[in-house]
Amino acid sequence: MKTTFLRNCVLVFSLCGLFFYGIVYACADYWDWDYDGNSSFTPETFVDKSYSPLFFSNYEYFYGIGFDTEHVTRFNNEVLAEWTTFLKGSCHPKWVRYFLLESSSKTVKELRVYYATNKKTTLVNQWERKVKLNDPKTKSFIQFYIS
């Protein structure tokens, strides 16, 4: 009698546990949880615009919900200013801008080959007239940019 009662109790509690687990799992909506995108903290509403978010949820870029194109070029001016300050005297700011924002992969690949093998091509000769390629700062800039 006692064993039958214990078996029934274990069976009832197991079924109740599975039932409640099923309810919690069904109501939890686990697959659509998005911790990054559901924040209501927006400091840029009461402080200056520089406090706007740096990281966004993956839904904003990949699923088209609230697609954000404003922040693709957000730090271009700061990056250009820092590299221009670093390369002062070695590279004109116009060429810094070209390498960082506008250059083609062909230019970058040929400069990589030049720094690896010291083999000059017509493109390297053109850039040598515009930029001091043998300057250590310019070399470190281009190698950093390439890597």
- pLDDT (tens digit per residue) in 90-143: 888 888 888 888 877 778 788 888 888 888 888 888 888 888 888 888 888 888
Residue found by looking up tokens 């506008």 in the block: 102
pLDDT value of position 85:
92
Helix (H) or strand (E) holding 140, with range, is helix 136-146
Instruction: Please report how the helices 136-146 and 76-86 are oriented relative to each other, as an axis angle in degrees rounded to 10.
Output: 150
- pLDDT (tens digit per residue) in 35-78: 555 555 555 566 666 666 555 555 554 444 555 566 667 778 88
Cα 31 to Cα 34: distance, rounded to the nearest angstrom: 9
DSSP code, position 57 = -
User: Residue 110 contacts by C-beta under 8 Å, 6 or more apart in sequence?
Assistant: 121, 123, 124
pTM for the structure as a whole: 0.51
